[in-house]
Structure 1
């Protein structure tokens, strides 16, 4: 069985904590590396040999936007790793732009840990999901 891991890039401390809690509850996830912004994420990619199963990127971050970070990752050694946009934005323009930039999914941040746990479990189980992922609780 392969080790499932992820790389979360998000500047919000609370959102990183919620994500970590949901990961603890999701099955099959054993490791998560986190970065507070795109600049730190690119540095980690260039300096570490970590290859995650999935990458999650927030769109609204300082120093480097999520879209800029997505572009940088798609040009890096992790170019084949699926990237999931993980954001509060449900803007149609953001959804379309990130799809064109190569994101695998667009996940609007759920309002509960339970909802996020369910989505993460679905993602890591490998089931076929639509590009746009949104839950109402």
Structure 2
């Protein structure tokens, strides 16, 4: 796979999930640069101050202090939200409410079940 994206932001509080997802992203040459934020609040700050300028974001739902959906509410108020960044909800949730809320959110491109796979990345890049 050629590198379709310049910068990928991964937002997930789970170290192991981040490790696995990062390895899949790296082995697939998905992005030139992969940035990980274990806190949605840190991610918002990075987006707000311009230190991170992603083409694509992988976002977990269930995180302490701020959920993925709460992140999206904050994100919606940022200038960068107008850039058309692809956001993929990457979650182990099987809750139909989460999937419905993801599909109804204007910023979410697709809901993807963890773990992220090479096949899922290939589908994204088609």
RMSD after superposition: 1.9
For residue 90 of structure 1, report the CA deviation from its aligned partner: 2.0
Consecutive unaligned residues in structure 1, runs of 5 or more:
128-137
Task: State how far apart, in whole Å, the 1-side matches of 2:72 and 2:122 are.
Answer: 23
1:131 corresponds to: none
For residue 106 of structure 1, report the CA deviation from its aligned partner: 0.3
Consecutive unaligned residues in structure 2, runs of 5 or more:
none
Task: State how far apart, in whole Å, the 2-side matches of 1:3 and 1:101 are.
Answer: 22
Indicate conservation of the 8 Å contact 1:27/1:121, yes or no: no
Distance 1:74 1:82, change over 3 A: farther
Which deviates more, 24-33 or 83-92? 24-33
For residue 67 of structure 1, report the CA deviation from its aligned partner: 0.5
Superposed, which structure 2 residues align to 1:52-91 within 5 Å?
52-79=54-81, 80-91=84-95
Task: Number of aligned residue pairs: give it.
Answer: 121
Indicate conservation of the 8 Å contact 1:6/1:54, yes or no: yes
Runs of 4+ in structure 1 off by over 3 angstroms are none
Which deviates more, 77-86 or 56-65? 77-86
